[in-house]
Amino acid sequence: MDTSRSPMEPSGFSKKIAAFIIIVYTVVTLIPITWIVLTGFKSVDSAVSYPPEVIFEPSLEGYVNLFTARTRQSEEYLDSLPPPETWYEELVRSKDMVITGPSKFFSRYLNSMIIGFGATFLSIFLGTLAAYAFSRFKVPLKDDLMFFILSTRMFPPIAVAVPIFIMYRKLGLGDTHIGMIILYTVVNLSLAVWLLKGFMDEIPKEYEEAAMIDGYTRFQAFFKIVLPQATTGIAATAIFCMIFSWNEYAFAVLLTQFNAQTAPPFIPTIIGEGGIDWPAIAAGTTLFLLPVMIFTVVLRKHLLRGITFGAVRK
């Protein structure tokens, strides 16, 4: 008998099958992302050429178009201008256009940042406190309250879009940052409370009791002892909250137009001269993917431990 591996260790053959499935899955998932990243570096013409160009001459036209507003001008007018000062002006001129100013993309992107991180922070802040209370104290009707919190996620959030729309108009919260932060926090909170309560339950209450006997108040014990040990759970929960707030589209379309519009409803509206500007849209999408990817990579160590929490005890 082969004793070199433990009975739980999968055989070489099933490992190979698993690896094969993972590779296929990875390739399938990466195709659209690769396509988007590549399209961002194509020119407007090659982006729509058929058959699709796999090998092409890279161009920053998409990114330039994404960040600038331009108008088409007559040749005589263009000739009368002084020579272009920067590489992007030159690029725009070659298409018979001039830059009239920055586009709205940057402000929309900033809105996404403010609302995404704001809602994530608020969800985690409130969720941690609520989860701690539910985990440690005798709360009257605890089980019913927990069920109620969960029940707010039993229907798709967009099902209540109309009442929320009316409510937000009356309250003056429509198209405001704070309004969107509140909305995303409300949606995230049930997930945050439930996830974090699970993590809090895993932290023995003896730690805080010891701290309280050692001369600290419950609040001090919470911040000094409980919170550092809950970082795994908090990181995992934060990623889920961030992904939702960052990607949310339906409410953003409905409730924001100008002041607080986030990137998701803005990107598809990037229309170039004489047709949809696919490279600019692809460039916007690529940039849009980055923060949430960086956020996840930074916290991925915690995420993995978070998912396996309970199975792996220190």
Partner 1 sequence: MSKIELKNVTKVYDKTNKAIDDLSLIINDGEFFILLGPTGAGKTTTLRSIAGLEKINSGKILFDDEDYTSVQPAFRDTAFVFQQFSLYPHYKVFDNLAFPLKSRLRNLSKDEIKEKVEKIAKMLKIESKLNNKATELSGGEMQRVAIGRALVRDPNIYLMDEPLSSLDAKLRETLRVELKNIQRNLGATILYVTHDQAEATTMADRIGVLEEGKLVQVGTPEEIYNNPKSTYVAHRLGSPRINIIDEEILSLKDKPNNTKQLGIRPENIKINTGTYEGKIRTTEALGAETVIGIEYKQIELLALFQGSFKGIKGDNIKFDIDTKNILYFNDRNENIS
Interface residues toward partner 1, by CB under 8 A:
204, 206-207, 209-217, 225, 228-229, 314
CB of 111 to partner 1, least distance (A): 37
Which one, 20 or 223, has the nearer CB to partner 1? Answer: 223
Instruction: Report d(CA 32, CA 88) in Å as an integer.
Output: 28
Within a 10 A sphere around the Cβ of 41, how many other Cβ atoms?
Answer: 20
Between 177 and 302, name the residue whose CB sits nearer to partner 1. 302
Q: Which is nearer to partner 1, 91 or 211 (CB)?
A: 211
Q: Which is nearer to partner 1, 212 or 292 (CB)?
A: 212
Query: Do the bridges between strand 271-272 and strand 68-72 make them parallel or antiparallel, or are there none, so unpaired?
Result: unpaired
64 with 81: CB under 8 angstroms? no
CB of 124 to partner 1, least distance (A): 19
Q: How far is the CB of 304 from partner 1 (least distance, A)?
A: 19
Nearer to partner 1, 155 or 219 (CB): 219
Q: Which helix or strand (DSSP H or E) is residue 270 part of?
A: none
Q: How far is the CB of 219 from partner 1 (least distance, A)?
A: 11
Least Cβ distance, residue 102 to partner 1 (angstroms) = 46
End-to-end CA distance of the chain: 33
User: In Å, what is the CA distance from 240 to each residue of 39, 193, 207?
Assistant: 28, 12, 28
Distance, CA of 241 to CA of 191 (rounded, Å): 8
Q: Supply the minimum distance, in Å, between the C-beta of residue 138 and partner 1.
A: 11
The nearer residue to partner 1, 91 or 225, going by C-beta atoms, is: 225
| Shortest Å distance, C-beta 232 to partner 1 | 11
SS3 53: coil
The identity of residue 153, as a single letter, is: R
Residue number, 170 or 314, with CB nearest to partner 1: 314
Closest separation in Å from C-beta 213 to partner 1:
5
Q: Which is nearer to partner 1, 90 or 214 (CB)?
A: 214
